[in-house]
Structures are given as C-alpha cells and as structure tokens.
Amino acid sequence: MLGQIFVLLCLSSAWAQQLCMPEASDGYKVRLSINTALGDQAYVWNENEMFLFRATLAFAMRSYSGGQDYNVSNIVVCAETPRVSFWFVVTAPLNSSRLIDRSDVEEAVRKSRNRINSAFLLTDRSLEFIGIPPILTAPVTPDTPQWLIVFGVVMGAVGAGIVVLLVTSVVEKKRKKNKKSGDEDIEEEPREKTEGNGFARDGVYNMSFSDDDPVTQM
C-alpha cells in the first residue's frame, strides 16, 4: 500500500514537471537581478532561495483563493538558468495534473507582490515576473481640496497685484515731489543773481545806489 502511494506521488511529480516548460500557456518566466540590486550585499541563489520562492508563491495563491490548500509542491519550477531566471506553473491543490489558469496566477502575484519582493529584498525591477506589469503607485490625493488650492493661488495673485500698485504709486509720488523741488530751485537762481547786481529784493532799499549824495547835502 505504501509502495503504491509512493509510486503515485512520483508519477504526479513527474507529470507536473512535464506540465512546466518554457513558453507554457499557463506559465510565467521569472528573472532576478540580485547583484545589480544589492551590490556587495547580494546573496547566492541556491535551493533554499528557490524553496522560499515557491513558498511565497504558495502563500500568494492561498491569499488570493481564500484559503485553498496550496503547498510548495503546487509550485512547479523548470528551465532554471545560472543567471537566476526560470519558469513556473501552479497546479491545483486537489489535482496536480491540472494547471491553474494564467489570469488567476497573475492576480495572485499582483495582490501579494510587495510581500514577494520583501522576502528577497528586491523590487519590481529586480524581481521581474515577465508578462505581469509592475505595481502602479496609487496617485497621491492632497488633503487640501482642489478648489481651496485654486482659491489660494488666485488670492495670492490679487494680493501681489495690490502690493505692486501701492509701491508704484508711492514711487510715482516721490518722483513728482523731487521734480517739483528741482523746479523751485531753478526759480530761486535768477533772484540770487538780481541781488548780486545791486537791485532791490523784496522791497528793501539799497542805499549804496541812492542819487542823494550825503556830501552835497552838507
């Protein structure tokens, strides 16, 4: 009895391996750039790392399917290369000869993408699921309403315009005042010249130019 179970397990495993092949319709290719992403902190990809990958994929499938009994054995890997790339397919928990549909695998990976990346200290660019687009960052929605931002910008522009008008008017008044002072200085110069020539200024009689000679009067 035990021998028959062992044979069935071996046959199911071999059948699963035949289901996994490059360019499989329900398979995905994975490519890791560990050295590029981590540099001196890069780790060596080995069987333990592959086991961790299969375990994270089984976790992703369980999370997506609502708790179906996916195990490491349901994640079948093939065509592994030294540059750390490989293909994988996912088999059904109760029927290892049936592959899970490609769209379901894609949705499971997308849902748990951050958890998968974190397990290997990588990002969407250094841990690539070929054919599954990277996770798009949700657009940032500002806490301040858009209308309030627009209102603030308009009010700022109006305030700046008022300040410019005030400054311009003050400068113009100073220019007019300086121009008026300059004109008054120009009018004062002829008067000073008249005083220098000996003519009377402001009703004051100049005795030095009087016709009456004091000596004659004596």
Residue with tokens 């179906």, as numbered in its chain: 68
Residue with tokens 């890791």, as numbered in its chain: 32
pLDDT at 166: 87
- Grade residue 128 by pLDDT with cuts at 50, 70 and 90: very high
195 by Cβ neighbours in 10 Å (0-12 / 13-18 / 19+) ranks as middle
Does residue 88 carry a pLDDT above 70? yes
73-88 mean pLDDT: 94
pTM comes to 0.57
Does residue 210 carry a pLDDT above 60? no
Other C-beta atoms within 10 Å of 126: how many? 17
Domain limits of the chain?
9-130, 146-217
Q: What single-letter amino acid sits at 166?
A: L
Does residue 5 carry a pLDDT above 90? no
Comparing 140 with 91, which gets the higher pLDDT? 91
Q: Who contacts 149 (Cβ-Cβ below 8 Å, separation ≥6)?
A: 142
Does residue 40 carry a pLDDT above 80? yes
Comparing 71 with 145, which gets the higher pLDDT? 71
Comparing 188 with 52, which gets the higher pLDDT? 52
Does residue 10 carry a pLDDT above 50? no
Helix (H) or strand (E) holding 76: strand 75-81
Q: What single-letter amino acid sits at 175?
A: R
% of the chain exceeding 90 in pLDDT: 44
100-116 mean pLDDT: 94
Which of the residue ranges 2-6, 38-42, 81-85 would you say has the lowest mean pLDDT?
2-6
Does residue 4 carry a pLDDT above 60? no
Q: What is the CA radius of gyration of the chain?
A: 48
With H, G, I as helix, E, B as strand and everything else as coil, classify residue 78: strand
- Grade residue 7 by pLDDT with cuts at 50, 70 and 90: very low
Count the residues in the chain: 218
Give DSSP secondary structure letters for 7-39: HHHHHHHHHHHHH--TT-TT-EEEEE-HHHHHG
What is the bridge-based pairing of β-strands 95-99 and 28-32? unpaired
